[in-house]
């Protein structure tokens, strides 16, 4: 087993697909995407069942509301 430590940069730490930023006593959340992200969830020519494609799209569409984003981050992530 290998463990790694993620260090915060500019009061921000990335965990899974969420970036958590601490400003004074408040926490702000944003959706984190690696710079290598292609935007493809599941390729259309894959052998995955159609249900997997629907669930993946549903997750991406609903994570804006399931992650507690502030208004400016919601607008930013809704356009991406």
> 7 vs 68, which has greater pLDDT?
7
Instruction: Indicate the domain borders of the chain.
Output: 12-79
**Any residues with CB less than 8 A from the CB of 46 and at least 6 apart, and which?**
none
Per-residue pLDDT tens digits for 8-56: 888 888 887 788 888 888 888 887 777 777 667 777 778 888 788 788 7
pLDDT exceeds 70 at position 77? no
């Amino acid at each position: 087993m290998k463990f790694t430590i993620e260090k915060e940069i500019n009061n921000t730490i990335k965990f899974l697909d969420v970036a958590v930023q601490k400003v004074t006593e408040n926490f702000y959340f944003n959706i984190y995407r690696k710079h290598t992200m292609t935007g493809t969830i599941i390729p259309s020519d894959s052998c995955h069942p159609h249900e997997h494609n629907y669930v993946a799209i549903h997750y991406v569409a609903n994570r804006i509301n399931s992650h507690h984003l502030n208004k400016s981050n919601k607008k930013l992530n809704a356009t991406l």
